[in-house]
């Protein structure tokens, strides 16, 4: 298992280098000038050229890439001009907030999705199955940002049950209770689509397992239905459900971008949107590299978990 993990980690390095090349050159291709963004509407072409030289943006592109990559390897991601602070501080702070939101949403969608899938499969073609299938279909079809707005109108403005936006009460807030209160709506909006996907795939994975002979054997031997389903069948189905969870974890993190905008959640998605519009090149590059690294790590964790559950996977 150890060598398998090492192998997977080594395979991640070219992926990350590829990501750094892509994000660097795409940012370079996007029209608009960081110097203009700093200087604002009063920027004369002369001042723009001078500031670009000060920022080192007048050097050849390839040279700039290697300078950036080299600095990054020593932990120096540069300085964000729009935030006027080191990129790494801003990115890590924001990423932490995104992980809180995405983490809660992920736990929510995993539990609800698997549960819904199991109930659906256990009562195939029954009322519960039909109801769940219907709800799941709606959940998958509603864009999460739109659902977010509906949740705000309903639960924050009409019923006044939860705050509209933000992460903590803006004055005198803080603490876990305050955080959870602010998490309910954005995490729910973020979880809905993934819940639907997980529910559908869990249902079919469960149905496949339930058709197996050993389940029939277990039932014939008088094992209780609950144990058959939760013990035998679910454990076997998890082998096909876990990779889905891994993919959904990635979707939840990327879906957080919209949700963070709607709920004004101070996460990395919101940071990236603002940074792109401000042409804060270093902040965008740093943010994307960190998110990509995390994505790659997710996949490794999923692969390892799958390998541990299923001995047929060659380690």
- Please report, as ranges, the residues that interact with another protein according to CB under 8 A: 31-33, 36-48, 51, 54, 82-85, 90, 93-94, 115, 118-119, 122-123, 128, 149, 152-153, 156-157, 159-172, 177, 181, 184, 224-226, 229-230, 261-264, 266, 270-271, 274, 277-279
Closer to another protein by CB, 54 or 310: give it: 54
DSSP conformational letter for 175: S
Is residue 155 within 8 A of residue 162, CB to CB? The reply is yes
Name which of 46, 212, 187 is nearest 121 in CA terms. Answer: 212
In whole angstroms, the minimum distance from the beta carbon of 3 to another protein comes to 41
In whole angstroms, the minimum distance from the beta carbon of 237 to another protein comes to 15
Closer to another protein by CB, 4 or 155: give it: 155
Closer to another protein by CB, 38 or 302: give it: 38
Q: How far apart are CA 205 and CA 259, in angstroms?
A: 30
In whole angstroms, the minimum distance from the beta carbon of 40 to another protein comes to 4
Residues shown for the chain: 315
In whole angstroms, the minimum distance from the beta carbon of 175 to another protein comes to 11
Q: How far apart are CA 45 and CA 201, in angstroms?
A: 56
In whole angstroms, the minimum distance from the beta carbon of 171 to another protein comes to 5
3-class DSSP state of 105:
helix
Closer to another protein by CB, 84 or 141: give it: 84
Closer to another protein by CB, 8 or 232: give it: 232
Q: How far apart are CA 251 and CA 229, in angstroms?
A: 28
In whole angstroms, the minimum distance from the beta carbon of 93 to another protein comes to 6
Query: Which backbone phi and psi does 13 adopt, to 5 degrees?
Result: -60, -50
Is residue 283 within 8 A of residue 273, CB to CB? The reply is no
Closer to another protein by CB, 165 or 248: give it: 165
DSSP conformational letter for 230: I
């Amino acid at each position: 298992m150890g060598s398998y993990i090492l192998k997977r980690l080594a395979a991640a390095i070219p992926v990350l280098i590829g990501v750094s090349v892509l994000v660097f050159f795409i940012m370079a291709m996007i029209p608009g000038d960081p110097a203009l963004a700093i200087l604002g509407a009063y920027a004369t072409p002369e001042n723009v050229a001078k500031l670009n030289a000060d920022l080192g943006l007048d050097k050849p592109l390839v040279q700039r890439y290697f300078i950036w990559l080299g600095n990054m390897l020593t932990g120096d991601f540069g300085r964000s001009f729009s935030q006027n602070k080191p990129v790494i501080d801003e990115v890590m702070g924001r990423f932490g907030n995104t992980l809180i939101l995405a983490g809660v949403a992920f736990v929510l969608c995993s539990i609800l999705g698997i549960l819904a899938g199991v109930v659906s499969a256990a009562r195939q073609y029954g009322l519960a199955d039909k109801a769940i299938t219907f709800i799941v279909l709606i959940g998958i079809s509603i864009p999460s940002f739109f659902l977010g707005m509906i949740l705000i109108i309903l639960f924050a403005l009409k019923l006044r049950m939860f705050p509209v936006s933000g992460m903590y009460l803006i004055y005198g807030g803080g603490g876990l209770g305050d955080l959870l209160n602010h998490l309910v709506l954005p995490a729910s909006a973020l979880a809905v689509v993934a819940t639907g996907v997980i529910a559908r795939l869990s249902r079919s994975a469960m149905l496949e397992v339930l058709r197996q002979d050993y389940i029939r054997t277990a039932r014939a031997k008088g094992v209780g239905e609950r144990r058959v389903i939760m013990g035998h069948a679910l454990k076997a189905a998890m082998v096909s459900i876990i990779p889905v969870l891994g993919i959904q974890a990635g979707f939840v993190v990327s879906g957080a971008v919209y949700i963070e905008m709607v709920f004004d959640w101070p996460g990395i998605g919101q940071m990236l949107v603002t940074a792109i519009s401000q042409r804060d090149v270093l902040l965008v590059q740093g943010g994307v590299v960190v998110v990509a690294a995390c994505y790659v790590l997710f996949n490794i964790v999923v692969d390892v978990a799958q390998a541990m559950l299923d001995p047929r996977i060659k380690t």
